[in-house]
Amino acid sequence: MLRRLGWYARRLAVMERGEIRHRIHEQIARRAARRENGGWVQFAMPGARPVPLPLFAPLLTGDLSAPVAAQLAIAAEAFRSGKLRLLNRDWPQTILDGAGSVAPEVWTLDPVSGTSWPGADVSAFDIDFRFEGGHRDVKYVAEANRLHFLAAPAIHARHTEDATLAHAVLGSLFSWMRANPPGRGVNWYSGIEAGYRLASLASIVTALDPWIDGAAGEKLASFVAAHGTWLARFPSLFSSANNHLVAEAMGLVLAARLLPDHPHATGWLTQGRGHLDGRTCALFHEDGVGQEQSPAYAAFTLEMLLIGFAAIGADAPSPAARERLGKAAAALNAFLDDEGHVPLIGDDDQSRVLLAHGSAEPRYAASICAATAGFLQRPELAPAIRDPHWRDIVFAAPPPGPAPSDGTTTFPQGGYTIRRGDIAGRRVHFTFDHGPLGFGALAAHGHADALSVWLSLDGRPVLVDAGTYLYHSEGENRRRFRVTAVHNTLTISGASQSEPSGPFNWMPRRARARLEKGADSVPLDVSGSHDGYRKRFGVIHRRDIAETAYGFDITDRLTGATPDGEVEIVFLLAPDLVVTAHDGRVTARRDGRAEITLAAPEGACVEIIRGDDISGRGFHSPGFGVLEEAATVLFRAPANAMRWRSSIVLNPVT
Q: How far apart are CA 25 and CA 19, in angstroms?
A: 10
**Closest by Cα among 447, 464, 459, 644 to 541:** 644
> Residue by residue, what is the 3-state secondary structure of 330-360?
HHHHHHCCCCCCCCCCCCCCCCCCCCCCCCC
pLDDT of residue 9: 72
Gap between the Cα atoms of 377 and 363, Å rounded = 21
pTM, rounded to two decimals? 0.97
Number of helices (H) and strands (E), helices first, in the chain? 16, 23
User: Which stretch of DSSP H or E encloses residue 513?
Assistant: strand 513-517
- pLDDT at position 128 is 84
Residue 437 gets which letter from DSSP? S
pLDDT on residue 8: 61
Measured CA to CA in angstroms, residue 167 lies from 129, 163, 208, 651 at distances of: 34, 6, 9, 58
Cβ atoms within 10 Å, residue 622: 21
Residue-level pLDDT at 246: 98
Distance CA 511, CA 258 (A): 45
Which pLDDT belongs to residue 40? Answer: 98
Q: What letters, b where the CB count within 10 A reaches 16 and e where it falls short, cover 209-218?
A: bebbeeebbb
User: What radius of gyration do the chain's Cα atoms show?
Assistant: 25
CA distance 467 to 622: 6
pLDDT for 135 equals 60
Query: Can you give the pLDDT at residue 357?
Result: 85
Helices assigned H by DSSP within 339-464? 364-376, 391-394
Question: Nearest 5 degrees, angle CA 473-CA 475-CA 479?
Answer: 130
Q: What is the DSSP letter of 108?
A: G
**DSSP symbols for 124-143:** GGG--GGG-TT---HHHHHH
Cβ contact 60:158 at 8 Å: yes
H-helix or E-strand containing 27? helix 17-34
Cis peptide before 67 (omega within 30 of 0): no
Q: What are phi and psi of 162, to 5 degrees?
A: -95, 95
Q: Find all residues with CB under 8 Å of 243, minimum gap 6, and list them.
A: 192, 283, 292, 297, 300, 301, 304, 445
3-state SS of 212-246 is: CCHHHHHHHHHHHHHHHHHHHHCCCCHHHCCHHHH
List, for the chain, all residue ranges whose pLDDT scores fall below the cut of 70.
1-8, 131-135, 474-475
Provide the pLDDT for residue 519.
Answer: 80
In this prediction, residue 538 carries a pLDDT of 98
Q: Which pLDDT belongs to residue 271?
A: 98
Handedness of CA 582, 585, 591, 592 (dihedral sign): negative
Distance from C-alpha of 482 to C-alpha of 381, rounded to nearest angstrom:
32
For the sheet containing 416-423, what is the strand order?
407-411, 416-423, 426-433, 453-457, 460-463
pLDDT tens, 563-583?
999 999 999 999 999 999 999
- Measured distance CA(18)–CA(307) in Å, rounded: 31
d(Cα 502, Cα 544) in Å, to the nearest integer?
32
C-alpha distance from residue 431 to each of 350, 420, 464, 528, 586 (Å): 21, 9, 10, 13, 21
Please give the Cα distance from 101 to 219 (Å, whole number): 16
Q: Which helix (H) or strand (E) holds 55?
A: none
CA angle 540/483/441 to nearest 5° reads: 80
pLDDT of residue 14: 76
Residue 121 CA, distance from chain mean position: 32
